[in-house]
Structure 1
Amino acid sequence: METIDQVIDINLPVQDVYNQWTRFESFPFFMEGVQSVRQLDPQRLEWEVQMGGKKKTWQAEIYEQEPDQCIAWRSTSGAKTSGRVDFCVLEDDKQTRIFLHLSYEPEGLAEKTAFALGLVKARVKGNLLRFKEYIEDAIFLPEGWRGVIHEHSVRRQEEKMAEAVMQ
């Protein structure tokens, strides 16, 4: 497995950044090569990307998700990939730092060469920069999914809050 780690600061509060990130269907608007992302249910996504002139598809499951903190995923079919994005509030509460950790298994000589030449890392960095531009320039910021996922356990944020009040 090859890994890529990237960090970017976004000039918006963490809730806005997190909400936009959970709108997976919007990824093709700022992620180069991503043709579509379909959210099948709160934990499963179906990806279609164009890499090196080849179409790749896979399904991924989100196995950890905490609102305004993190989202972690791994592929369950197709291309082998996994990753985690952590959201960190900066001192002024008006900026968010994103830490992205991505792992994937390059297929074939072309993908291995692209990774060795730094082309994949450059694409990931470009995608994060486009995400920053996309969200900072947005006129309207959408609501995101505020549920919690812990290894096959899904709870909506409202259920979590109600449970805390009952205790």
Structure 2
Amino acid sequence: MATIEHSEIVNAPPERVFALLRRVEEFADYSDLIERIEPLGEQRYRWYVHAVKMDWTFDVAVVEARSPHTLAWESLSGVKNQGRYYLERVPEGTRVTLTLSYEIGSRLMEKAVNRAATPLVGKVSRQILERVEARLRAGDR
């Protein structure tokens, strides 16, 4: 399984950042690559993503939600993946660290995806956190 980590500082307290990250169905508003997210009930969601010139669909379940520090998920179908947001209070606000692990069945496909995945995950993570921070500045809780 390949693992990618990305970290950013959000200028807001962890409790406020976590409250927005916890609204999984709104992630489509935070990134241009996430086309939509359908809530399936019981902390499960179907993600529709367009990345690396391909469409990806996968179902995930939130497996840990410990406010204000940890939000973790794992895939139920589609691209095998698991991830975790870890939030840590710092003088500037909140350090948000995303750790994402994924596995693609085909070695050839996995090599191609791995080359693009690290900068792509960094871009998406940065975009999500920038938009979360903008919402927080606008007064969203």
State which drifts further: 63-72 or 125-134: 125-134
- 1:108-152 CA distance string (max 9 Å, x none): 43452231x3x211111112221232122221313xxxxxxxxxx
Higher strand share: 2
* Structure 1 residue ranges (4+ consecutive) displaced by more than 6 angstroms after TM superposition: none
TM-score normalised over the length of structure 2: 0.86
CA shift in 2, pair 1:80/1:130, >3 Å: same
Q: Which residue of 1 aligns with 2:102?
A: 104
Residue 31 of structure 1: how far off its partner (Å): 2.3
Q: How does 1:22-37 map to 2 (within 5 A)?
A: 22-37=22-37
The question of whether the paired residues in 1 share the 8 Å contact of 2:73 and 2:82 is answered with: yes
Amino acid at match of 1:112: K
Q: Which residue of 1 aligns with 2:121?
A: 124
Q: Report the identity percentage.
A: 27
Residue 9 of structure 1: how far off its partner (Å): 0.9
State which drifts further: 33-42 or 43-52: 33-42
Q: How does 1:1-167 map to 2 (within 5 A)?
A: 1-90=1-90, 92=91, 95-108=93-106, 109-115=108-114, 117=115, 119-138=116-135, 139-142=138-141
Amino acid at match of 2:70: C
Residue 68 of structure 1: how far off its partner (Å): 0.5
TM-score normalised over the length of structure 1: 0.74
The question of whether the paired residues in 2 share the 8 Å contact of 1:35 and 1:50 is answered with: yes
Residue 107 of structure 1: how far off its partner (Å): 4.9
Q: Secondary structure at the match of 2:27?
A: helix
Q: Which residue of 2 aligns with 1:156?
A: none
Q: Secondary structure at the match of 2:117?
A: helix
Q: Secondary structure at the match of 2:68?
A: coil
- 1:1-26 CA distance string (max 9 Å, x none): 11101111111111111011112222
Aligned residues: 138
Q: Secondary structure at the match of 2:25?
A: helix
CA shift in 2, pair 1:89/1:42, >3 Å: farther
- 1:85-114 CA distance string (max 9 Å, x none): 111111x4x600111110111354345223
- 1:24-72 CA distance string (max 9 Å, x none): 2221223242111122224211111113332221111111111101011
Q: Secondary structure at the match of 2:41?
A: coil
The question of whether the paired residues in 1 share the 8 Å contact of 2:30 and 2:132 is answered with: no
Q: Which has the larger radius of gyration?
A: 1
Partners of 2:109 and 2:30 lie apart in 1 by 24
